[in-house]
Amino acid sequence: MLRTIIRTFTINSNYNFYRSIKLPNSSIFLQKRFQNLYIANKSQEENVHINLNSNRFTYRTYNCEQLRLQNVGEKVTLCGWLEYQRMNKFLVIRDGYGHTQLIIPDKNEELQRLIKSLPYESIIEVYGTVLSRPRDMINSKQTTGEIEVLIESLAVLNRACDDLPFNLREFQKAKEALRMKYRYIDLRFPEMQRNLRFRSKFIMDVSNFLVNECSFVNVETPTLFKKTPGGAQEFIVPTRFPGEFYSLVQSPQQFKQMLMAGGIDRYFQIAHCYRDEGSRSDRQPEFAQLDIEMSFTNVEGVTGLIEEMLQLCWPSFLKPLPKTFSKLSYKEAIEMYGTDKPDTSFDFTIKNCTDILKKNTNLYSTVDFGAYYLIFKNPYNRLPKSVKNQLNLLTENYSETKFIQSNIINAAEWTTKMSNLLGSNIAAELQSNIPITDNSVVFLALGNRSHVLQLLGAVRLEYIKFLESEGHKIKDGCVHPLWVIDFPLFEEGIEPGTLQSAHHPFTAPHPDDAHLLEISPKKVRALAYDLVLNGHEIAGGSIRIHNRKEQEFILQLLNIDKSLLQHHLDMLESGCPPHGGIAIGLDRLLAVMLNTQSIRDVIAFPKTFEGRDPITSAPSPITDHDKKLYHLEVATKSRL
Amino acid sequence: MLRTIIRTFTINSNYNFYRSIKLPNSSIFLQKRFQNLYIANKSQEENVHINLNSNRFTYRTYNCEQLRLQNVGEKVTLCGWLEYQRMNKFLVIRDGYGHTQLIIPDKNEELQRLIKSLPYESIIEVYGTVLSRPRDMINSKQTTGEIEVLIESLAVLNRACDDLPFNLREFQKAKEALRMKYRYIDLRFPEMQRNLRFRSKFIMDVSNFLVNECSFVNVETPTLFKKTPGGAQEFIVPTRFPGEFYSLVQSPQQFKQMLMAGGIDRYFQIAHCYRDEGSRSDRQPEFAQLDIEMSFTNVEGVTGLIEEMLQLCWPSFLKPLPKTFSKLSYKEAIEMYGTDKPDTSFDFTIKNCTDILKKNTNLYSTVDFGAYYLIFKNPYNRLPKSVKNQLNLLTENYSETKFIQSNIINAAEWTTKMSNLLGSNIAAELQSNIPITDNSVVFLALGNRSHVLQLLGAVRLEYIKFLESEGHKIKDGCVHPLWVIDFPLFEEGIEPGTLQSAHHPFTAPHPDDAHLLEISPKKVRALAYDLVLNGHEIAGGSIRIHNRKEQEFILQLLNIDKSLLQHHLDMLESGCPPHGGIAIGLDRLLAVMLNTQSIRDVIAFPKTFEGRDPITSAPSPITDHDKKLYHLEVATKSRL
C-alpha cells in the first residue's frame, strides 16, 4: 500500500508551498543537528566525494552517492536533478556527489504522467524506500549500482526550462564558449565537481599543514593599494577624490614584507591578485596565489617547507612525489633544456657541440656562438615530412640560427652529407662524439648560443609530443618537481643599456656575487628560486633584501625613483628581520595535479582569454552617476 | 671559557655576511626538517602563542617565548628585536611570541660597547646557554621568567634607525594615526600579535568545522564583475575596452547562487568584498566576509549551522555561548529595544504605555501614536544634569517627539507633577501600572511610535553607558547572541511611494505572507535573519528566491530592469535548487570576540576612515600611460 503524493509547483496556485512542506522525516535533520558525524581523514583522502556530513542542516537524508546495500529497507529523502528517465518506470536523479536510480511504482499513472512532462534538469525531492536491485539490473560501474529507491512521494522543487543550452550527459560535446556562458550548468558535470571539490580539499590540507604543523599565521592583506614601481601593469580604481586612484595589487609582496617587520614571522594567505596583461591565453586578470613568507630563513628553509607541504598534501590518485626535489641552476637549465622551466619528466637533454663546430670559423659570425643538438635513437627515429615542416616553423623567431633536421638511416652517409656543410673533419668528429648511429634522428642548431638553446628547447617538446602521438610512452606518468635556482638578478631592460629585475626589485643578490653588483651587475645571481613541475612554472620566490642601503642601491641600478618606495625603505630600517618567501600559482598547480586542458577548468568562474566575464560579458559601460562620482570622462578613440 | 663573536653589519665591508654565516648549530633545522612535531589541538586552543613548530625551516632553535626551566643547560639560538637593556648586563629580546632575558658575560667590554651603541628594535641573533635565574630574579609574570640566556655569540642582523616614531614599550600612548602610518612597527605590540594570531586560528577552526564536519566546499569567486542593480555603491575598474568597466563585487551573492545551481550544494569562502561608502567610521572600503550558502535548507538549517559553528570555534578565553541562541522577530526587537540590533547583554527593555496615554487625545496629533518608557530603580537611579543634557541631545532627530526625563525621589510628588502634563487620571494610572516607586529614574517618550522607540533605544544604551561609568556592573561579561528574524521584505524607497529591498532583491518572501505580495507588499515579511551579538550586527542572511517567475515579480515591484539580471533569471530556470545562506562580517565578529576599540584593531592593514591607506596615503594620481591605456580623462572639479 503505497502512499504516493505528487506535488507540482504552480506559481499562481501555491506560491511558496515548498518552504512549508512537512516532509515525513523533516525533523530528522533537526534531531541530528548536534550529532557529530566526524569522518576520519583517511576516508576523506580516499574519496573526496563521500561524506556523510553532507546532509546536516538540510532536508535530505542522503546525497545521491551514498546509498548502498546496507541501506536496504530504509526510508530516505533525496534531492537532486532529474537526469534521465526511461519506460516511465526508471528515473535517474543526480547531485554533486553522484547518481541514484529511482523507480516509479506500477500503475501510478499520475506520477508517470508528471515525470513524462517534466524537463530533464528539474529539481525534485523524493521520499521512498531503498530496495536492492534484481541481480541482472546491478550496475557495478556505479557506486549506488546495487540499490534503487522506490518512490513514495515526489515533489518538483523547481522546474527547469525545456531548452537548456547543452546536454548534461555529454561533457565532451559541449563547446567551451557555451560551457563558460552557462557555467552554472557546466559545473554540474562530474569533471567540474571533481575539480572544484579537490581544489577545496587541497587548500584545506595546505592550510592545516601550514597552521597546525608549522605555526603559520593566515593574514588577509588589502588589494586596494598604491602602484608598485617596476612591476606588471596594474588595474586602477578611481575614487571620490578627484584624479586619485588605487591600484589593485599584483601580489601582497610589500604587505608580507611589512608583516615580517611587524613580527608575524610566519605568514601565509590564499591571496587574491590582479594583473592587467591584456589578452593572453591561460592567464587570468585575477588569480589566486598561495603566498608564503618567513623570517630568519634561507633558500633551503623555503624550498624545504614547500617540498614537505607538497609531499603531504599530494593527491592520493597521483604517484607520490620524490623525497627531495632536484635542484638545477638557471644556467644548467638553459644549457640542458633551452628553457628556465624544463620538463624533466623525460630525458633527451640538449647536448653541446660548440667546441667541435667552433673549429670551422666560416660557420659563425656571432660573438656568442653556440652549437647544440638533440639525438633520438631507434625506436624514436621517425621524422615524417609533416613533422619536419612543423619544427621548421619554430625557427621563425630565430632567423639567424641554422637548424638542421636529419633522419639518419646510415651514419656514414650522414657524415658525408654533412661534410659539405661543416667540413669533413668536423662532420667526422661530430659523428664519433655524439655518437651518431644508424637509424636515428638528429636536430642540430648553430648560431647565437641563447637562440640555439631556446630553439632546441622548443624542438625537444614538440618532437616528444609527436612521438607520444605515435604511441610511444616517453613519460612515466609521474610529476617531476624541479627547483630552478641561481637566476640572474637583472635582465636587460626595454631601453638598451638599462636593467630590470628578473624577479622583482626586492629580491636579494647572491652573497657570493656581491662584489659584482657595481662592476658587472648582469652577472649577479639572485637568491631566487622557481618550482617547475613537468615544464610548468608553479611557484617563484626569493630571499628578500632586508637592509635599507642595499635596497636603495638596487633601486638606483634599476632607475626606480626611491621616493615611490619611501615607506618600504623606512620599514626596512625600523628593524626588519632577514626573510624570504614564495608564491605558488594555485590555478596552475591544480591544473597540473588534475591534468586539465586549461587552468579555466580548475577555476569556478574564469574570465575569457580577452578578460571578459563570459556569463554577463562584463566589463560594461558605466552610468553618468558613476562618471560624476569618480570624476571621470571616457576618452573617445578619436581623441587618443 | 666563552667564545664571544661580535658581528656588526657594515654595508661597505661585508655586504651580505649574514646569509652565509655558519651558526654553530645551523644544521639543526635541516636535520629537523622532516621531523613532524605535531601538536595536539588542545594545547593550541589553550594558548595560541605557544607552538614548538614555529622554528622549523629557520635558523633559530626556539622563539622568544619558549624557554623554560627544563631547557636549562641547552645551547640555543634566538632571533628577535632588542627591546631593552640595562646596566650593560641584561638585554631583553622580543619576537611575536614573547620575551627572553639575555645576559652579557662579565668583562666582555666589546659586546657591552656594541649593545650600548645599538638602537632598540635592531634585529639580533644570539647563541648561548640557558641558565636558571637566581631566585630573587625570577619574574613570575613572564612565561620565560625563570630562565635567562648567557650570550656566547651575538650577530646584528639588521640595525634599526635611531628615531623610531613611537616606543614599543608603551602601546597605550601611541596615537592611532601614528600607529597606522607605521603599522609595520605597531604590529609588534603584543595586543596586535594576539589579535592577528587569534584571527588566523579562528578562520582555521571555522574552515575545519565547515569542511571536515559539514562537507562544505571552499570556492573562490571573482571580484571583477558586473554592477549589481539595487545594491550599495560599487567601485569600478576601467579596462582596455574604451568606456567599459568592471565593478568590484560588494558580495559574492550572485556567484554563490550560481554555485547552488551548479551542484556545489554546500559552499563557503572567506570572501573579499568591496563597498564604496565614502567616509564612514568603522567601515572599510574592502572587508572580509565569511560567506556561506546551502541547498535544500531552510531558516532553521542555516541558523542551526551558525550556532554550532560559533559554539565550537568560540575562544576559550571567553565564557561559552548558550546552547541555543534566542530568536526575536524584527517587530519584537523594535518594540522591546527600539532597534533591530538590540544589545541583550542586559535587561531594562522598553515598555509600552500607549494604551494609557492614548486616553488623553490632546497628547498626540500623529496617526501612528506611541508612548513608551524605560524605568531604572534604586540603585540605578542617578540622573545628574550633565547626563540629562546628553540624553536630550539624542532627541535632535525627533523634534516631534516629547521626551520626559524624571529623577523621582517621591512617587506621589511625581504623579502630581505629571498630572499637569498628562491629566491626573492618566498620571495616576501610569504610576500604578509602571509601577513607579520612590527613588527611580523614568524616561518617557510620546509621539510617532517608530521615532519614540528609536529614541528610547538610544537612551537605553546611553544611560547604561553612564551607569557603567559610575561603577555599576550591569552586564554579565558574556556574549549574548540573538537572531533577529522576520524582517520586512521591503522598505520605503528614496522616492516616495517606491519600494527597495530591506536585505537584497534575491531574498525570499515569507510563505505565510505570499498573499500580501500584490496587495500590500510592505507588510510582507522576508525569510531573512540577522545575527546580533551584544548590539553588534554580525551576520545577515536569508533563504533566496529560486523560482524565476517569483524573482521577476520581485524585481518588478522594486522597479529593477530585469534585463540587467538576465543571467540570474536564466540560472534560476536552469534547475536551481531551493537554497539559502548567510554572510558573517569577520572584522566585526573578531572585534566583539577580542573586545577591541575598533574593527581596525583586528585588520592587519586597515584604511583610514576616509578610505586612505595610511602607510602610502593611496589613492594617488595616475600616469599618462594609465590614462591612455584605460581611455580616461579626469574631470576637473570646475567642469562637474
Distance set, CA A441 to CA A272, A339, A388, A585 (Å): 47, 22, 11, 37
Asked whether the beta carbons of A447 and A363 are under 8 A apart, the reply is: no
Report the pLDDT value the prediction gives residue B160, as an integer from 0 to 100. Answer: 97
Which residues from B are below 8 Å from A289, CB to CB?
A: none
Residue B582 pLDDT greater than 60, yes or no: yes
A421-430, B140-149, B346-355, B515-524: range with lowest mean pLDDT = A421-430
Would you call B622 and A245 a contact, using CB atoms and an 8 Å cutoff? Answer: yes
pLDDT at A5: 38
Report pLDDT for A637: 57
Strand segments, DSSP code E, in A450-554 are 481-485, 490-492, 499-501, 528-533, 536-543
Which of A22, A57, A299 should one mutate to test binding to chain B, selecting the residue with the greatest count of B CBs within 10 A?
A57
- Which helix (H) or strand (E) element contains residue A244? strand A244-248
Q: In sequence order, what are the beta bridge partners of A86?
A: A90
Closest CA to A564 of B368, B615, B376: B615
H or E element at residue A568: helix A566-573
Q: How far apart are CA B416 and CA B430, in angstroms?
A: 12
What number is the average pLDDT over the span B58-65? Answer: 96
* A296 vs B58, B258, B604: nearest CB: B58
**Is B633 in Cβ contact with A302 (below 8 Å)?**
no
Task: Identify the weakest region by mean pLDDT among B112-116, B228-232, B342-346.
Answer: B228-232
ipTM field? 0.91
Question: Hey, what amino acid is at A193?
Answer: Q
Alpha-carbon distance of B235 to B245, in angstroms, equals 10
Q: How many CB atoms lie within 10 A of CB B144?
A: 23
The Cα A221–Cα A91 span in angstroms is 49
Q: Which residues of A touch B223 (CB under 8 A)?
A: 223, 272, 286
Over range B476-504, report the average pLDDT. Answer: 93
pLDDT at B229 over 90: no
Q: How far is B134 from chain A (nearest CA, A)?
A: 30
Helices (H) and strands (E) in chain A, counts: 20, 25
CATH number listed for the domain at residues B346-469? 3.30.1360.30
Please compute the mean of the pLDDT values over residues B345-366 and round it to a whole number. 87
Nearest chain A residue to B162, by CA:
A574
Model pLDDT, residue A448: 93
Greatest C-alpha distance within chain A: 98
Rounded CA gap, B14 and B537, in Å?
Answer: 57
- B11/A550 CB distance under 8 A: yes
Residue B9 distance to chain A (closest CA, Å): 10
pLDDT of residue A597: 86
Asked if residue B31 has pLDDT above 70, the reply is no
Tell me the chain B residues in contact with residue A521 when contact means C-beta distances shorter than 8 Å: none
pLDDT digits (tens, 9 = 90+) for A109-148: 999 999 999 999 999 999 999 999 999 999 999 999 999 9
Poorest-confidence range of A215-229, B34-48, B298-312?
B34-48
> Which residue, among A121, A200, A608, would best test binding to B if mutated, counting the most B CBs under 10 Å from its CB?
A200
Contacts of A278 in chain B (CB under 8 A): 240
The answer on pLDDT for A32 being more than 60 is no
* Parallel/antiparallel/unpaired status of strands B217-218 and B266-274: parallel
Strands, E assignment, B135-228? 147-158, 217-218, 224-225
Give the pLDDT score at B581.
98
CATH architecture of B193-248+255-277+287-328+481-602: 2-Layer Sandwich (3.30)
Intrachain domains B193-248+255-277+287-328+481-602 and B346-469 with the same fold: no
Provide, rounded to the nearest whole percent, the portion of chain B with pLDDT above 90: 79
pLDDT in tens, A360-391: 877 776 678 999 999 999 999 999 999 999 99
CA–CA separation, B207 vs B314, rounded Å? 13
Q: Looking at the partner chain, which of B51, B263, B288 has a beta carbon nearest the beta carbon of A188?
A: B263
Residue of B547, B556, B574 to mutate, interface with A, max A Cβ within 10 Å: B574
CB B158 within 8 A of CB A569: no
Question: Which of B246, B494, B631 would best serve as a mutation to test chain A binding (most A beta carbons within 10 A)?
Answer: B246
d(CA B606, nearest CA chain A) in Å: 8
How many C-beta atoms lie closer than 10 Å to residue A355's C-beta? 10
What confidence category does residue A279 fall into, taking pLDDT thresholds of 50, 70 and 90? Answer: low
Q: Point out the residue among B241, B304, B616 whose CB comes nearest to the CB of A619.
A: B241
Interatomic CA distance for residues B266 and A72, integer angstroms: 27
Q: Whose grid coordinates read 570646475?
A: B638
**pTM of the complete model:** 0.91
pLDDT of A299 > 60? The answer is: yes
Of B219, B272, B632, the CB nearest to A635: B632
Cβ-defined contact of B158 to A222 (cutoff 8 Å): no
CATH 2.60.40.10: does it fit domain A5-164? no
Mean pLDDT over residues B249-253, rounded?
97
CA distances A109 to A116, A129, B366, Å, are 10, 19, 62
pLDDT bucket at B171, cuts 50 / 70 / 90: low
pLDDT at B201: 97
Q: Within 10 Å of residue B557's Cβ, how many Cβ atoms? A: 19
Instruction: Identify the band that residue B183 occupies on the pLDDT scale cut at 50, 70 and 90.
Output: very high
How many other C-beta atoms are found inside a 10 Å radius of the C-beta of residue B141?
A: 6
CB-based contact B634 A631, cutoff 8 Å: yes
Question: In chain B, which residues have their Cβ closer than 8 Å to the Cβ of A288?
Answer: 220
Mean pLDDT, rounded, for A498-520:
94
Give the type of residue at A408: I
Length of chain A counted residue by residue: 640
CB contact under 8 A, B164 and A207: no
A592, three cell numbers: 597540473
Contact check, Cβ <8 Å, A16/B204 = no
The domain A193-295+496-602 belongs to what CATH superfamily? Bira Bifunctional Protein; Domain 2 (3.30.930.10)
Judge whether A402 and A461 are in contact, CB under 8 Å: no
Q: Which of A85-89, A152-156, A295-299 has the lowest average pLDDT?
A: A85-89
3-state helix, strand, coil in chain A (%, to 5): 35, 25, 40
pLDDT in tens, B408-418: 999 999 999 99
Chain A residue with CA closest to B166: the answer is: A574
Indicate the domain borders of chain B: 5-164, 193-248+255-277+287-328+481-602, 346-469
Q: Work out the minimum CA distance from A570 to partner chain B, whole angstroms.
A: 9
CB within 8 Å of A380: residues ≥ 6 apart: A441, A467, A472, A474
> Taking CB atoms and an 8 Å cut-off, how many pairs form between chains A and B?
481
- CA B275 to CA A240: how far, in whole Å? 12
Q: Closest approach of chain A CAs to the CA of B304, in angstroms? A: 7
- What does each C-alpha distance from A446 to A243, A355, A393, A537, B92 come to in angstroms? 54, 12, 16, 27, 64
Chain A residues whose CB is inside 8 A of the B514 CB are 15-16
What pLDDT was estimated at residue A230? 79
Q: Select from B185, B132, B182, B127 the least CA-distant residue to B153.
A: B127
Question: Cβ contacts (< 8 Å) between A622 and chain B: which residues?
Answer: 227, 236, 243, 245
B573, A160: Cβ pair inside 8 Å? Answer: yes
- Check whether B170 has a pLDDT greater than 80: no
- Minimum distance, in Å, between the CA of residue B350 and any CA atom of chain A: 34
Give the tens place of pLDDT for each residue, A411-455: 999 999 999 888 888 999 999 888 899 999 999 999 999 999 999
From the CA of A633, how many Å to the nearest CA of chain B? 5
Nearest beta carbon to residue B511 from set A16, A245, A286? A16
Q: Which of A122, A204, A604 sits opposite B207 (nearest CB)?
A: A204
Please judge whether B259 and A33 are an interchain contact, meaning their C-beta atoms are less than 8 angstroms apart: no
- Whether A43 has a pLDDT exceeding 60, the answer reads no
Contacts of A233 (CB under 8 A, 6+ apart): A275, A276, A277, A278, B629
How far B596 CA sits from the closest chain A CA (Å)? Answer: 18
Please report residues of B whose CB lies closer than 8 A to that of A19.
298, 508, 511, 527, 543, 578
pLDDT, residue A29, reads 32
In whole angstroms, what is the distance from residue A147 CA to residue A131 CA? 6
Chain A hits for B185, Cβ within 8 Å: 261-262, 574-575
Contacts of B220 in chain A (CB under 8 A): 270, 272, 288, 603-604
| Whether the predicted pLDDT of A3 surpasses 90 | no
Contact A71, A130 (CB under 8 A): yes
A636 interaction partners in chain B (CB closer than 8 Å):
242, 631
Q: Which residue is closest to B219 within chain A, CA to CA?
A: A200
B19 and A604 within 8 Å at the Cβ level: the answer is no
DSSP assignment of A164-190 equals: -SS-TT-GGGS-HHHHHHTHHHHTTSH
CA distance B206 to chain A (A): 11
